[in-house]
Amino acid sequence: MAFPKTRLRRLRATHELRGLVRETRLDAAELVYPMFVAHGLDRREPIEAMPGVDRLSIAHAVAEAGEAAELGIPAVLLFGLPAVKDEEGSGAWDDEGIVQLATRAIKEAHPELIVVTDLCLCEYTSHGHCGVVREDGNVDNDATLELLARTAASQARAGADVIAPSDMMDGRVGFIRGVLDEDGHTDTPILAYSAKFASAFYGPFREAADSAPAFGDRRGYQMDPANGSEAVREARLDVEEGADIVMVKPALPYLDLIRRIKDDTGMPVAAYNVSGEYAMVKAAAAAGYLDERATVLETLTSIRRAGADIVITYHAKDAARWLR
């Protein structure tokens, strides 16, 4: 059956306008650049599993943050590698800890740059789990909340603009919000890792942050990849507890949940394009199987198209350059 002439004209017009009217545009202003800062390091230390990403001294972190800012990236996300680890992860809430020192240095050098601090204990505990471990080997949720809140207050005092709890303990957003408010940080927002899955895509990160569990795994507190409905419920609960932004992590295997959570909560949504996603593209590009630039920009656009307002990605600097 032939199309009516009016329909054909609309099709032609739509085709001609396709290059001018796009639903989703990718911009450096929507990206966050993660960085690993290590105590006692005086150089850049390449991370083998993540080509192009280094562990940084504080001085190098300041320089790296400045480079990101010059490229139009508005925020960095800090992960810390302490000098010493212990059972409770006490380096996390040390006011002279690595993330606190790096935050002060970056804010002093680049006051307009947003510093987001990851809030978890796994990089600081000798056992590599995200909280206090009981004698039976399980994480004590309620005991962990106290330590997380202590860490959040310390990070906020150091000048963190946004606190990002990634531990996945129940009730932690409300508990942290209460302690931040009591400590006078009522205007410090919380970016909650609301739907953080027990994923196979975190392997390179655990090398980078030296945070692999010494025993067991994190399935007891991270989420089942098959349970999308639970992810939506968890995001809704975090909003009710006071989260200002909710996150889905990883990004690419969970694009459907980015959209569901965006539609369900109506809140700003962040998505973490995690280390395994980054490493796969880098490896395929190095082997000549993929065009790195085209693949990265398509990937980040798809995450934005799914509903993410913010994309946390190790590709941020390269993407910002290419977008220019």
- The per-residue DSSP string of 142-209 comes to HHHHHHHHHHHHHHHHTT-SEEEE-S--TTHHHHHHHHHHHTT-TT--BEEEEEEB--GGGHHHHHHH
End-to-end CA distance of the chain: give it in Å, rounded.
Answer: 46
Alpha-carbon distance of 199 to 273, in angstroms, equals: 12
Alpha-carbon distance of 244 to 190, in angstroms, equals: 5
Within 10 angstroms of residue 150's Cβ, the number of other Cβ atoms is 17
* Sign (positive or negative) of CA dihedral 63, 64, 69, 74: negative
Catalytic residue flag (residue 249)? yes
Count CA within 13 A, CB hemisphere, residue 16: 6
Alpha-carbon distance of 271 to 309, in angstroms, equals: 8
For the record, the structure tokens of 110 come out as 């680049």
State residue 256 phi and psi, 5-degree precision. -60, -35
Q: Out of 196, 262, 282, 317, pick the active-site residue.
A: 196
Q: What share of the chain is helix, strand, coil (3-state, %, to 5)?
A: 45, 20, 35
Catalytic residue flag (residue 262)? no
Q: Out of 249, 262, 282, 317, pick the active-site residue.
A: 249
Active-site amino acid positions: 196, 249
